[in-house]
């Protein structure tokens, strides 16, 4: 299934998945992002392809943030994307994951446009299925970004949900995406929706193009680092049990 693009037709069907078997990520489904610190959102880590940062263990993808020097970075971590290996227009995304904890971590499950048809960020959109910042230990967030609605303008549209987080707790984070709306769920509970206003304007609804999935664990940054970073908590682990895409 990897590398195919689907459009929604009829009854939902499983079109792409990963159960994270083996010892390392399936590179027919995922690509590593290799970035230096401060490249995005003033995050402090470098993203690497080291097995110390990204590996498969006991049937889970494990993304680990570590306190270690790497060039200009004081921390290392991992970021995987499905771009050009899993790209979708509409569907249901579900990810079963267990979050890290502690001041300074910023794990996310999100989607970015594959083709940037309307231009660079935020014009072509962003779908944040789950974001968690370690200084808010009991809350996760779902958010959308567009030309009209984004955090730089302080007009981004999102909702939080209270969710006790512990190292023993897996939850299923999901999004149902149609031509009319985006609905966001945790464990099947709907807690945020964003509707197409029907104007046909990409500035408010760029979500009519292909998007791909992103999994990452950031350290610090413009949001994750608002309360500083507690160096005593590292290493921290973001566990992903499975990913399912239905259309």
Residue matched to tokens 């007009």 = 155
Q: Which residue out of 43, 72, 94, 126 is catalytically annotated? A: 126
List, in order, residues 6 or more apart from 145 with CB less than 8 Å away: 121, 122, 125, 126, 128, 151, 156
Cβ(191)–Cβ(159) under 8 Å? yes
131 is catalytic: yes
167 contacts 101 by C-beta, under 8 angstroms = yes
Residue 21 a catalytic site member: no
> Coil, helix or strand for 207?
coil
The catalytic position among 131, 136, 147, 180 is 131
> Token digits for 125?
């959109």
**Pairwise CA distance, residues 210 & 101, whole Å:** 32
| Ramachandran angles phi, psi of 210, nearest 5° | -70, 140
As annotated, the active-site residues are 126, 131
């Amino acid at each position: 299934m990897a590398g195919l693009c689907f459009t929604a037709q009829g009854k939902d069907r499983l079109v792409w998945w990963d159960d994270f078997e083996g010892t390392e990520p399936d590179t027919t489904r995922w690509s590593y992002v290799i970035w230096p610190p401060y490249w995005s959102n003033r995050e402090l880590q470098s993203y690497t392809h080291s097995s110390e940062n990204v590996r498969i263990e006991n049937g889970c993808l494990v993304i680990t943030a570590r306190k270690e020097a790497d060039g200009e970075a004081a921390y290392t971590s991992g970021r995987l994307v499905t771009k050009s290996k899993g790209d979708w227009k509409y569907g249901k995304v579900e990810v079963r994951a267990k979050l890290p904890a502690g001041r300074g971590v910023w794990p996310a499950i999100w989607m970015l446009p594959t083709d940037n048809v309307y231009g660079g960020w935020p014009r072509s959109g962003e779908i944040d299925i789950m974001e968690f910042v370690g200084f808010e230990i009991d809350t996760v967030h779902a958010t959308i970004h567009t030309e009209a609605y984004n955090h730089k303008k302080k007009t981004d549209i999102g909702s939080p949900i209270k969710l006790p987080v512990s190292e023993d707790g897996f939850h299923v984070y999901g999004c149902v995406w149609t031509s009319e709306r985006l609905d966001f769920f945790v464990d099947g509970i709907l807690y945020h929706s964003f509707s197409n206003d029907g104007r046909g304007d990409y500035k408010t609804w760029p979500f009519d193009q292909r998007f791909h999935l992103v999994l990452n664990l950031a350290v610090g940054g413009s949001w994750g680092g608002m309360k500083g970073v507690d160096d005593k908590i590292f290493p921290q682990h973001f566990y992903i049990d499975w990913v399912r895409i239905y259309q």
